[in-house]
Amino acid sequence: MLSPPEVDPDARPGPDGDAGPPDGGASPPDRDISPDVDVVWQTVRSVVPDGLDRDGCRALLSDLARLRAWVDATEVRAARRIRALAAEGKAEPVESAITGSSGCSGRDARTAADREQACDEMPGLEAALDAGELSAGHVDVLAAVANSLDDDLRAEFTSLQDALLGHAAGESVDTFRRRCRLLARRLVAAHGGSDAEELDRQRAASNVKRWVDKITGMAHTHLQLDPVRDQMLWKAINQHLTRLRQQDQQGSDRTPWAQLQVDAVIAAVTAGGGSVRVPEIGVLVDYTTLAADAAAGGLCNLGDTGICETVDGTPLPVSTVRRMCCDADIYPIVMGGDSRPLDAGRSRRTATVDQRRALAAMYASCGFDDCGVGFDNCRIHHIDHWIEHHGPTDLDNLIPACETHHHLVHEGGWTLSMTADRVATWRLPNGTIHHTTTTNRRQPT
């Protein structure tokens, strides 16, 4: 695929809208774009979204994503040129140029500048972005992870661009982000001498800030926490959230989800009196990693087949699990080990504690494909409905579903079926298959 040619950065639009020569110089060459982008652009210009069906809308969104990728790749080139001009004293810094030209926020400008630097370090990113093989979100993930590493580890991380690009082409941004973070942690552990050093740095960097917006009068409290203490905090909050959600009224008087979360946070931090329940944190460790840890005397095996993480997918060094025992109760979920009976049949409607733990071992988030709502914020849904189909409260009939996707299969007319090996099929109200995919995505990586 052809890449858009470089354009004279000093060219300015002439009276007719075309780029004219600066200071009377020669006119720049006509600018061509990649043939497929040109075709997509012509198609998008002729489409009226109001008359499209579902497939037509999805095709339009795909075309827009293709155009957006090309635009983002072009922005990378423009940012690179601005950076070169700034080094010569002929332009302002890249971030200032972006905010001044596009009106975007300072944060978005910094992201765009980081994107350009990432493409400089990993040239394959720019080509893939220009070809529409990945999105700017994938590039931003790589930039953010690379920026979190020191120079030596950053160089090792960027040297793996070919493998990372292969994954990015077939993964959502959220899935790709988790993969890159896992890789970064493995690199840190391999070079740091102790796999717990990263957690120590995160703990030392944790902080709390509080301020009041002078315009809106709204008070802001910002917490930056290491993953262990973040888990402790949100376990406590989610306990109150579950109680408030059960008490909340249904129908038009139902409290918005955002307000329920606020109420749960306030309830968690203001609860007092009586004995304080220690938050329960689930840590998932596969047998191979656990055995390797024991053999190594406490060092985590971060090879390609290990898994050691919290229920929401946050990776943890095995050596920190012992340290966590000082702060919270730990219940082990060992992949491949024996477990308690997980079927309740029709004896009870709600999932048992053991069933929720087992589901948490399989799902870090909602069972809908690529939904990032965490497991603790999901309801446990009966595939065969408890009332309508007399479905049992057995593990094979349960799946976590967030508020949005739980609503789809109850009030929205969608249907959900699942095979014994947990391959789920989601259908639209008209019977059309939306997608079919395996839902047990918690596997050693």
| pLDDT, tens digit (0-9, with 9 covering 90-100), for 295-339 | 444 333 334 445 667 766 666 665 565 455 445 555 555 444 444
- What pLDDT, in 10s, does the model give residues 196-237? 666 777 788 888 998 888 888 888 999 988 887 888 888 888
User: Count of residues for the chain?
Assistant: 445
Q: Is residue 180 part of a domain?
A: yes
Question: In which residue are the tokens 């979190």 written?
Answer: 148
Question: Looking at residue 346, what is its pLDDT?
Answer: 60
Q: Is residue 134 part of a domain?
A: yes
3-state helix, strand, coil in the chain (%, to 5): 50, 15, 35
Give, in order, the Cα–Cα distances in Å from 220 to each of 96, 213, 260, 351, 412: 27, 7, 18, 37, 36
| Joined tokens for residue 260 | 């329920």
pLDDT tier at 184 (50, 70, 90 boundaries)? confident
Give, in order, the Cα–Cα distances in Å from 95 to each of 72, 118, 299: 15, 15, 43
Of 117, 175, 123, the C-alpha closest to 146 is 117
Q: How many angstroms separate the CA atoms of 406 and 382, rounded?
A: 10
Query: Regarding predicted confidence, which is higher, 267 or 20?
Result: 267
Q: Is residue 105 part of a domain?
A: yes
Question: In which residue are the tokens 């905090």 written?
Answer: 233
Of 72, 66, 83, 64, the C-alpha closest to 125 is 72
Same domain, residue pair 163 and 252: no
Q: Is residue 287 part of a domain?
A: yes
- What pLDDT, in 10s, does the model give residues 389-422? 778 888 888 999 888 888 888 878 888 998 888 8
Q: Residue 400: which residues within 8 A CB-CB, separation 6 or more? A: 359, 363, 365, 366, 367, 375, 378, 379, 380, 381
Same domain, residue pair 259 and 155: no
Strands 308-310 and 329-335, by their bridges, are unpaired
Across the chain, what does the average pLDDT equal?
A: 76
Q: How many angstroms separate the CA atoms of 368 and 390, rounded?
A: 23
Same domain, residue pair 64 and 169: yes
Q: How many angstroms separate the CA atoms of 381 and 409, rounded?
A: 9
Same domain, residue pair 360 and 309: no
The domain tally of the chain equals: 3
Decide: 237 and 264 in contact? Cβ < 8 Å: yes
Largest CA-CA distance found in the chain, in angstroms, rounded:
86
Torsion of CA 263, 264, 267, 270, to 10 degrees: -100
pLDDT tier at 384 (50, 70, 90 boundaries)? confident
Of 278, 277, 284, 283, the C-alpha closest to 329 is 278
* Range with the poorest average pLDDT among 9-23, 26-40, 75-89, 358-372: 9-23
Same domain, residue pair 292 and 394: no
Identify the domain containing residue 89 by its residue range: 12-22+29-192
- What pLDDT, in 10s, does the model give residues 345-361? 566 667 877 888 888 88
User: What is the average pLDDT across 241-262?
Assistant: 77
* Range with the poorest average pLDDT among 142-146, 258-262, 325-329: 325-329
Q: Is residue 416 part of a domain?
A: yes
Q: How many helices (H) and strands (E) does the chain have?
A: 16, 12
Q: How many angstroms separate the CA atoms of 214 and 432, rounded?
A: 51
* Range with the poorest average pLDDT among 76-85, 86-95, 242-251, 283-292: 283-292
Question: In which residue are the tokens 């493995």 written?
Answer: 186
What does the DSSP 8-state code read for residue 374? B
**Burial class for 192, CB neighbours closer than 10 Å (0-12, 13-18, 19+):** middle
Question: In which residue are the tokens 């309740």 written?
Answer: 344
Same domain, residue pair 329 and 275: yes
Same domain, residue pair 230 and 287: yes
User: What is the average pLDDT across 152-164?
Assistant: 90
pLDDT of 19 over the 50 cut: no
| Joined tokens for residue 173 | 């941004």
Same domain, residue pair 35 and 162: yes
Same domain, residue pair 427 and 303: no
Q: Residue 405 phi/psi, 5° resolution?
A: -80, -25
What does the DSSP 8-state code read for residue 49? G
Amino acid at 304: D
Same domain, residue pair 237 and 312: yes
Same domain, residue pair 18 and 59: yes
Decide: 129 and 69 in contact? Cβ < 8 Å: yes
pTM of the model: 0.61
Q: Is residue 444 part of a domain?
A: no
Same domain, residue pair 374 and 329: no
Q: Strand (E) positions, 88-204? A: none
Q: How many angstroms separate the CA atoms of 51 and 164, rounded?
A: 39
Amino acid at 308: C
Query: Which of these three, 313, 338, 363, is where a domain ends?
Result: 338
pLDDT tier at 129 (50, 70, 90 boundaries)? very high
User: What is the average pLDDT across 150-164?
Assistant: 90
Query: Percent of the chain scored above 90 by pLDDT?
Result: 19
CA 441 to chain centre: 14
User: What is the average pLDDT across 370-386?
Assistant: 82
Query: Percent of the chain scored above 70 by pLDDT?
Result: 70
Number of C-beta neighbours around residue 292 at 10 A:
18
β-pair partners for 426: 416, 435
Query: Which of these three, 276, 311, 338, is where a domain ends?
Result: 338
* Range with the poorest average pLDDT among 96-110, 175-189, 293-307: 293-307
User: What is the average pLDDT across 58-77?
Assistant: 93
Q: Is residue 221 part of a domain?
A: no
408-411 long-range contacts, CB within 8 A, separation 24+: 409/381
Q: Is residue 7 part of a domain?
A: no
